[in-house]
Amino acid sequence: MENQNVVAPESTINLAITVDVANSSNNLEMDGGARISAWVDSMRASSPKHHKSTPSLVEDQASWMGQHPSALDMFEYIIDDSKGKQIAMFLDYDGTLSPIVKDPDRAFLSDKMRATVRKLATSFPTAIVSGRSIDKLYEFVGLDELYYAGSHGMDIRGPREAGSKYKKGSEAVLTQPAIEFLPMIDEVYKELVERTKSTPGAKVENNKFCLSVHFRCVEEEKWKELVEQVGSVIKEYPTLLLKQGRKVLEIRPTIEWNKGRALEFLLESLGFANCSDVFPVYIGDDKTDEDAFKVMAFLQRLGNGCPSEGKPVYKE
Ligand SMILES: [Mg+2]
């Protein structure tokens, strides 16, 4: 069961809604059986089947929920706290706006959700922050008035609509910090497609500045084989990093950029750098969204007058 929760601010600005997924190790090298086993264990942990409600699990969950109450239960509090501030919305796509489906090419947005996002964008600056490419996101969402931060924030574009009241500046593309990796990403994409084609259900997606190897349709007994295949490609590219998301292995450049940096960049682009009059709301369900939650927590401390408690560290 997914737990959508809010990291409740004590008095000021930030809301972070997250979903409880198991921890996974980052950037494990593919240099041995133990490492590969650790990856497969992590894939299992982040792909939970139905939990048995053991007493200790119920207790742990209750304790966690006490510290991270439901956003819906806190709604009035959130509205009160946002008064006088500019709300800015940041939304993950897969698993947040659209359901996780078997075929990642069919993670369509429902008409109802599209109407909701459109309504949000007329009231607040709104961005979609996703591991998908911008082109794919736009194909699914099709709204010109949004900011799109694709490829885990490595490709950020402003609203297309000239009349959008939240459009800042005239440039459509706002930043592409990993532009020099494009030829490498294309090369690795082709190699991964070739290397993983013997694993039934594996699907490699080119997200322009990063790659996804989806394993949601791969039988569990084949996960080890898939990790070995991906590892055998990635080990030849030390400037690429392997991470794990929900039912997906992510390959991306080792630059200090992620959804957290994208969030900071977007707030700055919107004119809210070092600003206490903004109330950002980030909704996401994945491990990769945690980088953004770290930024939210930092901004919250900043808003509480505790800037020295450490800026988020992005070293992967
Ligand atoms: Mg997601």
Interval between CA 92 and ligand 1 midpoint (Å):
6
**Residue 47 to residues 10, 96, 175: CA-CA distances in angstroms?**
32, 16, 33
Whether the pLDDT of residue 35 is over 70: the answer is yes
* Distance from C-alpha of 94 to C-alpha of 100, rounded to nearest angstrom: 6
Determine whether 152 is exposed, middle or buried from the number of CB atoms within 10 Å of its CB (0-12, 13-18, 19+): buried
**Residue 113 to residues 32, 117, 118, 225, 227: CA-CA distances in angstroms?**
44, 6, 8, 37, 35
Interval between CA 100 and ligand 1 midpoint (Å):
8
The model's pLDDT over 80-124, given as tens digits with 9 standing for 90+, comes to 988 999 999 999 999 999 998 889 899 999 999 999 999 999 999
* Distance from C-alpha of 185 to C-alpha of 226, rounded to nearest angstrom: 19
Interval between CA 83 and ligand 1 midpoint (Å):
29
Q: Which residues have CB atoms below 5 A from the ion given as ligand 1?
A: 92, 94-95, 285-286
Q: What local confidence, expressed as pLDDT, does residue 171 receive?
A: 67
Higher pLDDT, 302 or 211: 211
* Distance from C-alpha of 6 to C-alpha of 69, rounded to nearest angstrom: 6
**Residue 207 to residues 83, 102, 181, 192: CA-CA distances in angstroms?**
38, 18, 12, 13
Determine whether 57 is exposed, middle or buried from the number of CB atoms within 10 Å of its CB (0-12, 13-18, 19+): exposed
Whether the pLDDT of residue 19 is over 60: the answer is no
Q: What local confidence, expressed as pLDDT, does residue 52 receive?
A: 58
* Crossing angle between the packed helical segments 259-269 and 290-303, to the nearest 10 degrees: 50
Interval between CA 289 and ligand 1 midpoint (Å):
8
Query: Residues 284, 17: contact at Cβ < 8 Å?
Result: yes
Identify the DSSP state of 216: T
In the predicted model, what is the mean pLDDT of residues 63-80? Answer: 84
* Distance from C-alpha of 104 to C-alpha of 188, rounded to nearest angstrom: 20
Q: What local confidence, expressed as pLDDT, does residue 10 receive?
A: 35
Interval between CA 234 and ligand 1 midpoint (Å):
23
Interval between CA 159 and ligand 1 midpoint (Å):
22
In the predicted model, what is the mean pLDDT of residues 227-242? Answer: 94
Contacts of 260 (CB under 8 A, 6+ apart): 153, 291, 292, 293, 294, 295, 312, 314
Query: Residues 35, 239: contact at Cβ < 8 Å?
Result: no
Q: What local confidence, expressed as pLDDT, does residue 32 receive?
A: 66
Whether the pLDDT of residue 296 is over 90: the answer is no
Query: Residues 314, 260: contact at Cβ < 8 Å?
Result: yes
What residue segments make up the domains of the chain, in order of their start?
15-19+60-161+257-315
The model's pLDDT over 187-231, given as tens digits with 9 standing for 90+, comes to 999 999 999 999 999 999 999 999 999 999 999 999 999 999 999
Interval between CA 107 and ligand 1 midpoint (Å):
11
Q: Which CATH architecture has domain 15-19+60-161+257-315?
A: 3-Layer(aba) Sandwich (3.40)
